[in-house]
Amino acid sequence: MTEPMVSFENVTKRYGTLTVLDNLNLTIGRGEKVAIIGPSGSGKTTVLRMLMTLETIDGGVIRVEGEPLTHMERGGKLVPADQAHIRKVRAKIGMVFQSFNLFPHMTALQNCIEAPMKVLGLSREKAEARAMDLLDMVGMANRRDYYPSQLSGGQQQRVAIARALAMRPKVMLFDEVTSALDPELVGEVLQVIRKLGAEHDLTMLMVTHQMGFAKEFADRVCFFHSGRICEEGEPQAFFTNPQNERSRQFLRAVLEAG
C-alpha cells in the first residue's frame, strides 16, 4: 500500500484546560479530497491550523508523507523539529483562509509572486509566468494589477487560492473559504475549487458548511463533534443515511437552516 499523504496519530490539542482535539486519528491518502464538517467549536479549524504549523500540538504525531511535522528523527529518536525541518515539511502544504488574508499593500500579481521569489528563489519572470497561469485559471488574469481592496470578496478569495497554488503544495487546506462571502459570490469560488480538483492531483482538506458541495466533491466526509471524529465515510452514504445520532441532528439542523 502506498504511504498516506497526511496522517494524524493520536493527536491531542488543548487550550489551557479545554481539550479541543482528543486523540485524533485521521489518515488522508494521496490525491484524496476530504470534507470536514461539524458544528461550530468542534475543532475543525484547529485540525487545519495544526497541519499548517499555526498551532502547536500537545500530544501525538502528525506526518506528511511519512515525515513527522513537528518532530524530526535524530539518532533514531524523535526530537522537536528545528526551523529548517519545519519549513521543509511546510513547503508541501498550502492554505486558504476564511478571511482571505491577502497582503493589502500588494497587487494580485505581487501577492502571487512574493513567496515564490523569496522562498523558492524563482526569478521574477518565472514567478510572474507561474502566477499568470494560476490567475488565469482562477479567472483573475485581467485583475492582476488590482489591489485587494479593489476586489470583491469572491475575487479576493480566488486570488488567495492562486497565491497558495503558486508555491506548488501537495496538500491544500481550505478553511470555510466561502463563509465570509456574500451568497451570490460563493459559486465562483466553489467553481474554482471544482476545477482544481478536476485538473490537479492535489490532496485537499476542506472545512465547509456547503453540504451540497461536500456531497458532490469530496471522496470522504469526516463529521467532527467535540474534538472527535464522530462519523466518517463516503459522502453519498453519509448524507443519505447517517449512522450517528449526532450527525443526524447536525444534518437536520443544517438542512432546516439552509
Ligand X SMILES: Nc1ncnc2c1ncn2[C@@H]1O[C@H](COP(=O)(O)OP(=O)(O)O)[C@@H](O)[C@H]1O
Reported in sequence order, the residue ranges of 128-248 that DSSP labels E, i.e. its strands, are 171-175, 203-207, 220-225, 228-233
CA–CA distance, 48 with 95 (Å, rounded to integer): 8
Question: CB of residue 68 vs Mg ion: minimum separation in angstroms?
Answer: 25
Q: Which of these segments, 26-34, 114-122, 197-205, 210-218, binds another protein (CB under 8 A)?
A: 114-122
Residue 15 interacting entry, from another protein, ligand X, Mg ion, none, C-beta within 5 to 8 Å by type: ligand X
Query: Is-contact 81 70, C-beta < 8 A?
Result: yes
CA–CA distance, 144 with 24 (Å, rounded to integer): 41
253 binds ligand X (CB under 6 A): no
Question: CB of residue 56 vs ligand X: minimum separation in angstroms?
Answer: 11
147 binds another protein (CB under 8 A): yes
State which of positions 33-92 bind ligand X (CB under 6 A). Answer: 38, 40-46
Query: Is-contact 2 27, C-beta < 8 A?
Result: no
Residue 20 interacting entry, from another protein, Mg ion, ligand X, none, C-beta within 5 to 8 Å by type: ligand X
Query: Is-contact 136 171, C-beta < 8 A?
Result: no
Instruction: Look at the alpha carbons of 226, 16, 62, 30 in this order and tell me if their dihedral is positive or negative.
Output: positive
Which three-class secondary structure state does DSSP give residue 251? Answer: helix
Q: Which of these segments, 11-19, 58-66, 100-108, 121-129, binds another protein (CB under 8 A)?
A: 100-108
Residue 102 is placed in which grid cell? 491577502
Nearer to ligand X, 62 or 165 (CB): 62
Residue least distant from Mg ion (Cβ):
45
CA–CA distance, 2 with 20 (Å, rounded to integer): 31
15 binds ligand X (CB under 6 A): yes
45 binds Mg ion (CB under 5 A): yes
Enumerate binding residues for ligand X (CB under 6 A): 15, 20, 38, 40-46
Enumerate binding residues for Mg ion (CB under 5 A): 45
